[in-house]
Structure 1
Amino acid sequence: MDKLVFVTGHKNPDTDSICSAIAYAELKKKLGVNAVPKRLGDINRETEFVLKHFGVEMPEHLFTVKTQVADLNVDQAFPVSSDISIKTAWHLMKKNNIKTIPVIDDHERLLGIVTLSDITNNYMDALDNNTIASTRTTLRNIAETLNATLICGSQEDFETTGKVVVAAVEPDDLHSFVEPGDIVITGNRLDIQLKALEYGTTCLIITCGGDPSQELIEEARSRNIVLLTTPIDTYTTVRLVNQSIPVGAVMTSQNLISFNIDDFIDDIQDKMLKTRYRSYPIVDDNNRIQGFISRYHLISQRKKNVILVDHNEKSQTVNGIEEAEILEIIDHHRLGDIQTASPIFLRNEPVGSTSTIVANMFFEMGIRPSKGIAGILCSAILSDTLKFKSPTSTYVDRMTAEKLAEIAGIDDMDKYANQMFKEGSSLQGKTLKEIFYQDFKDYTFGKYRIGIGQVFTMDREKISEMEDSLIAFMKQLCAEKGYHLLMLFVTDILDQASEVLFSGEEKELISLAFNVDLGENSVCLPGIVSRKKQVVPLISAAVDK
């Protein structure tokens, strides 16, 4: 399936924003697109009621579409455990043409990294002949590195505490070099082999494919000494034996710089430029390795794909939209300020609800929406058109809603709408901030930043009790966020009228737009119920005067 596509409505989502996103994502999936609905804020009570009523899951919250590490074509990781030999790690690097390997624990969590430089530096600096003991190298590593055969002994018997010695002297002189716990490398001279056992070696390695005598084997067993034979010559054996040490002994684990798969590119660029390492490990939230990133990966960014529904203004859309690829816009509002790098599919119709457009796209393509999808689309149309009483409502909205109601099993749309409005207009338990932002949109009109919120209610008295507190909240918000004007339309669903609470230096725009005399912080506007059709165009015209 193609890359993931996010379908999202606007910030401070209403029912139409959420339901149209869910439904359009479902339609795109039926058309073979890997689409997922998202939301840009908490849902209101009306939307919660609708989704619960029709058994549809709430979309997950999308906070940003800024480019993240996950959007890059990073290098694959080839993790190893800390006990494998550096020789094995070296061959893994050569085989996969890589220079860095992550070291992980038994739970696949990152312990450190081993680079080509770590291995070569260790090999070149190996002047200490007790490296095998100090790194607690296992017998298995030694046997694998030397391609050796175990004649007798076991890992339990292999408790080297000394150094590696090459027995290249006469037997009587060996005592000057071999101490208990040493590893002795020798050829096929039985007298030297027996002397090494006598002096307490913990492991005897016979080179050149030497065949140990039965006497030697029995002596080694009696002393619990490990006996190995290798087909490799003595010189090569000496060169290779230190390559058996575990990568855990040479890996970098302290002050390790790693990035999370969800980190934003903007956040990691400076750190990469300051440290200048060849590559950096990428981990998930459980510290499990996901790959490696280098500076050149920053030019291979894959933008997130986004479809916008029920809005087309930058101030209302997801954070980081300038770093994303907008594929489509499905909307019923005025054209805003969003710009795209290439042509896109745009469907913008003068209807009362984006859900009307989405529903008809189902029908045009011969796809019957499921009961749940039909139910939430019908609900969104009823909500956005105020049960077809809004001036934005059209004949198309009504006909589409009736068709959807039949599919969804809504026998009485009027009764269902009243129930939905009642659930949605309840303000019980809500804070001032929640009330103000439950359906709020940011607009830019010329040089003015104006915010317009709307609250639908069937209990006007409850709002009246909160007016002073709401106005104080708006005044504070104007000062903090730099708004020229804030308006909150408190719309009475039954009386089809709105009271406007306002704050800001440019409040005279309201007087110009609606030709009314203003109170100190409020004004009543009979017949005004639609922000899209009755408010935004008039405010825009007032700004232009």
Structure 2
Amino acid sequence: MEKVYVIGHKNPDTDSICSAYCYANLKNQIDKQFKYIAARCGNLNKQTKYIFEKLNIEPPIFLKDVYPKVSDVMTKNVIYSLENDPIYNVMMNINKLKIRLTPVLDNNRKLSGIVSILEMTDYYMGEEDIDKRPSYLLRCENIKQIVKGETIQDGDKDEFLSYLIVGAMPFDRFKERFDKMDLDKITLIVGRRVDIIEYAAEKGVPAIIVTGLKSKDEMAGIDLGDYKGFVYMSYHDTAETLRRLLMSVPAKFVMSREFPVLSSDTYLEEAKDVLINENRRGLPVVDSEKRLIGIITRSDMLKKYKNKLILMDHNELEQAIDGAETADILEIIDHHRLGTIKTNTPIFFYAKPLGSTCTLVYELYKHYGIKIDENIAVLLLSGILSDTVILKSPTTTKWDIDAANNLAQIAGLDISSYGQEIFSVAESLKTRDFKEVINADFKVYNEFGVKFGIGQVEVVTLEDYKEVYRDLLNELEKTKNDKRLDWAMLLVTDIVSENSYLLSTGFEPVEKLMIYRKIIDNTFYLPKVLSRKKQLLPELLRALEEYHLSMKK
């Protein structure tokens, strides 16, 4: 079944993670066409991790990006051969099944080689010097399988490297040529020529194949003495026996051992370059232990695979998972301002100016008549309380409050107590990792020719801010440079007093136009500001627009 990833924005907050999990759950109940998988493109913050651990639920899976990968298009049910299988099997794969590439596995089922048209051509063309006699690796079991006949005696070797010689000439001429060859590397193919057979047996060649016989009785009168080699009676004529012998050689003799392999997470564009550079029609795909897990061909590259996404809690590409521009976006569920994502086809876009995306998901459960169980109720409630700061944020609407009350009743929770519980998980600013503080919920915007970013962190007191703000500023400067921003800010929000501090890397022409008062270096006081989206961002956009217009004069 085809997968659809239900995924929130980069630097995911609790609302983003919980809404993705709950909406994937809903979609799997109302739509059996796809398998909906809750995903995330960033680490869980401490609050979100606490919520999922408390419920003993696995959080959404982590995805680095959604660029098409080998795993998306590779053939997984692979036809393969084992090292000792006759090359005839590979030829049948190529001819009947139209398989361009046959992987060859060792006894431990690990990849050891490949056979394709290239290797088969090399095998049948033989040495570049036509006067140089080729040798072949022969296996007694393979000969019995491919050449119809009966075993006269098994030899002392299961397999051997051998030159093929046909005893079709007068005995004296045969003996003359025979004696000049390496006798330890000769397989004789001959009709019932007693003199030639007995001479070869006397010299101890590895194998003698007698052709054109119908039963073992026809071997009567041939003295093999104490010969230790393999003797086989072929029902075929000499020419057909020789042809089948060539098809009995084991795959390991023909296969190529020097070739690149791909992993399932190799990007398709990289795989395409490898195929072209290696002049291969296909390549095997292996796991970390060299076990075969798939095969990819040039035809697979033509599939133009796109991952399917449902975006939760965002609708701008800059905030979406890397590679979202290559994906098919099927739906967007969001409560933020509209961004710039363009789609090739009409999609389901559910957006309202509410305090939380989890409220939207709650409404969709109600719309489809799907019962909300206790765990889903806790997750939806968690997302609402987190994003609305326990329903105190000015973004909070009566729909958020109604949803929270209904979900709290299902979950058997007190809104105030549970809200305090999930917010109390956060550590003091002094003990937290500053990089994580800034990037855990950091969003990038591009307005009026200025690229800027705002992070937000909730705390239960601002008393320790002045002790750490310089360290936070240093880390904020790094984030600004890493993301190539003109301006970076961190909104530090006290959910108890409902006031905030805004730490800024500095953008003086715009900062002068803001209504906020600077209290210390790089820090502004924002009384009764809890919401980045509904309170801070509109003020920043107003100041940026005023600055932009002044620059035009």
Q: Which residue of 1 aligns with 2:86?
A: 85
Bigger shift: 533-542 or 17-26? Answer: 533-542
RMSD, aligned α-carbons: 2.6
How far the C-alpha of 1:296 sits from its partner, in A, is 4.4
Aligned equivalent of 1:497: 499
- More off after superposition, 282-291 vs 492-501: 282-291
Q: Is the 8 A contact 2:11 2:440 kept in 1?
A: yes
Q: Secondary structure at the match of 2:453?
A: strand
Tell me if structure 2 keeps the 8 A contact 1:436–1:488: yes
More deviation, 458-467/525-534: 458-467
> What is the CA distance between 1:379 and its match in structure 2?
1.4
d(CA) in 2 for partners of 1:301 and 1:221? 67
Aligned residue number for residue 549 of structure 2: none
Shift of 1:457: 0.9
- Counterpart amino acid of 1:319? D
Which of the residues 380, 403, 406 maps onto 1:403? Answer: 406
* Residues 409, 20 of structure 1: alpha-carbon distance in 2 compared, 3 angstrom cutoff: same
The Cα shift of 1:308 comes to 0.7
Aligned length in residues: 537
1:104-123 matches, within 5 Å, as 104-123=105-124
The AA in structure 2 aligned to 1:347 is Y
Q: Which of 450, 463, 466 is matched with 2:465 structurally?
A: 463
Is the alpha carbon distance of 1:117 and 1:508 closer, same or farther for their aligned partners in structure 2, counting shifts above 3 Å?
closer
Q: Which residue is equivalent to 2:440?
A: 438
CA distance in 2, matches of 1:216, 1:183: 21
Residue identity opposite 1:165 in structure 2: I
Change beyond 3 A, Cα 1:42–1:480:
closer
Question: Which residue, out of 194, 200, 206, partners 1:196?
Answer: 200
Secondary structure, counterpart of 2:342 in structure 1: coil
Q: Which amino acid aligns with 2:532?
A: R
Instruction: Tell me how far 1:7 sits from its aligned partner.
Output: 0.9
CA distance in 2, matches of 1:130, 1:272: 30
CA distance in 2: counterparts of 1:415 and 1:443, whole angstroms:
35
CA distance in 2, matches of 1:474, 1:253: 51
Shift in Å, 1:220: 4.0
Contact 2:516 2:524 in 1 (8 A): no
| CA distance in structure 1 between the partners assigned to 2:308 and 2:374 by the alignment | 28
User: 2-side partners of 1:112 and 1:162: how far apart?
Assistant: 22
Q: How far apart are residue 426 of structure 1 and its match?
A: 3.9
Alignment correspondent of 1:390? 393
Aligned to 1:165: 165
Give the aligned partner of residue 527 of structure 2. 526
Query: How many angstroms does 1:307 deviate by?
Result: 0.7
- What is the correspondence of 1:256-267 to structure 2 with a 5 Å cutoff? 256-267=259-270
Change in 2 beyond 3 A, CA 1:117/1:49:
closer
- Rounded to whole Å, the distance in 2 between the matches of 1:477 and 1:176 is 84
Q: Deviations over 1:429-471 (max 9, x none)?
A: 4221111122211111121111111111113222221012112
Kindly indicate whether the alpha-carbon contact (under 8 Å) linking 1:282 and 1:289 is maintained by their aligned counterparts in 2. yes
* Letter paired with 1:376: L
Measured at CA, do residues 220 and 401 of structure 1 come closer, stay the same or move farther in structure 2, by a change above 3 Å?
farther
CA deviation vs aligned residue, 1:2-37 (integer Å, no higher than 9, x gap): x11111111111111111111111111112241111
Partner residue of 2:314 out of 284, 304, 311: 311
Equivalent residue, structure 1, for 2:28: 29
Secondary structure at 2:424's aligned position in 1?
helix
Cα distance change, pair 358–221 in 1 and its aligned pair in 2 (3 A): farther
Q: 1:200 to 1:501 in 2, by over 3 A?
A: closer
1:206/1:270 CA distance change after superposition, 3 Å: closer
Aligned to 1:59: 60
Deviation of the 1:75 alpha carbon: 9.1
Residue 509 (str. 1) matches residue 510 (str. 2): yes
> 1:325 pairs with 328, 337, 357, which one?
328
Partner of 2:256: 252
Task: Confirm or deny that 1:209 pairs with 2:213.
Answer: yes
The answer on 1:289 being equivalent to 2:327 is: no
The 1-side partners of 2:371 and 2:225 are apart by 80
Q: Secondary structure at the match of 2:364?
A: helix
CA 1:325 to 1:216, structure 2 compared with 1: closer, same or farther past 3 Å? same
Pair 1:419 & 2:418 matched: no
> For residues 158 and 59 of structure 2, what CA distance do their matches in structure 1 show?
61
CA displacement at 1:129 relative to structure 2: 5.1
Q: Deviation at 1:391?
A: 0.6
Contact 1:47 1:424 in 2 (8 A): no
What is the CA–CA distance in structure 2 between the aligned matches of 1:45 and 1:382, rounded to whole Å? 15
Q: Secondary structure at 1:96's aligned position in 2? A: coil
Q: Report which stretch shifted further, 325-334 or 223-232.
A: 223-232
Q: 1:145 to 1:258 in 2, by over 3 A?
A: same
Note if contact 1:153-1:221 (Cα within 8 Å) is conserved in structure 2: no
1:498 deviation in Å? Answer: 0.7
Q: Which residue of 2 aligns with 1:151?
A: 152
In 2, the alpha carbon distance for the partners of 1:428 and 1:57 equals 30
Task: Tell whether the 8 Å contact from 1:17 to 1:310 is kept in structure 2 after alignment.
Answer: yes
**Which residue identity is paired with 1:168?**
A
SS in 2 for 1:319: coil
SS state at 1:198 partner: helix
Contact 1:175 1:199 in 2 (8 A): no
Q: Partners in 1 of 2:323 and 2:346 — Cα distance?
A: 20
Contact 1:67 1:304 in 2 (8 A): yes
CA contact (8 A) 1:55 1:372 kept: no
Q: Is the 8 A contact 1:10 1:310 kept in 2?
A: yes
User: Which residue in the other structure is 2:487 paired with?
Assistant: 485
- Separation in structure 1 between the aligned mates of residue 357 and residue 76 of structure 2, nearest angstrom: 42
1:15 corresponds to: 14
1:40 is matched with 41
Q: Is the 8 A contact 2:139 2:160 kept in 1?
A: no
| Deviation sequence 1:245-294 (CA, Å, 0-9, x none) | 2221222212x123222111232343444343333333333333344434
Paired letter, 1:105: D
For residues 40-85 of structure 1, the C-alpha deviation after alignment (integer angstroms, 9 at most, x for no partner) is 2111121122212222222221110111122236597421112222
Contact 1:23 1:358 in 2 (8 A): yes
Which is worse superposed, 162-171 or 383-392?
Answer: 162-171
Q: Contact between 1:73 and 1:301, CA under 8 Å: does it hold in 2?
A: no
Deviation at 1:215, TM superposition (A): 7.3
> Is it true that 1:237 corresponds to 2:256 in the alignment?
no
Deviates more, 1:524-533 or 1:199-208: 199-208
SS in 2 for 1:326: strand
| TM-score of the two chains, using structure 2 as the length reference | 0.90
Deviations 1:168-227 (A, max 9, x none): 345566543446543222223445433433333332212112434487589548433422
1:121 aligned counterpart, secondary structure: helix
Q: Distance in 1 between matches of 2:410 and 2:464?
A: 37
Give 1:393 deviation, angstroms.
0.7
Residue 185 of structure 1 is matched in structure 2 by 189
CA distance in 1, matches of 2:199, 2:368: 90
Stretch deviating more after TM superposition (183-192 or 21-30): 183-192
Indicate the larger mover: 10-19 or 186-195: 186-195
Report the residue type matching 1:167 in the other structure. Answer: G
Instruction: Give a deviation string over 1:346-379, Cα, whole Å, max 9, x none.
Output: 1111111111111121122111122111101111
Partner Cα separation in structure 2 for residue 225 and residue 112 of structure 1 = 30
1:224 equivalent to 2:228? Answer: yes
Identity %: 32
- 8 Å CA contact 2:437, 2:457 repeated in 1: yes
Given that 2:502 and 2:523 are in contact with CA atoms closer than 8 Å, whether structure 1 keeps it comes out as: yes
Runs of at least 5 residues in structure 1 that lack an aligned partner in the other structure: none
The whole-number CA distance in structure 2 between the counterparts of 1:188 and 1:372 is 83
Deviation of 1:418 after TM superposition, in Å, equals 1.2
Moved more, 121-130 or 236-245: 121-130
**Residue identity matched to 2:10:** K
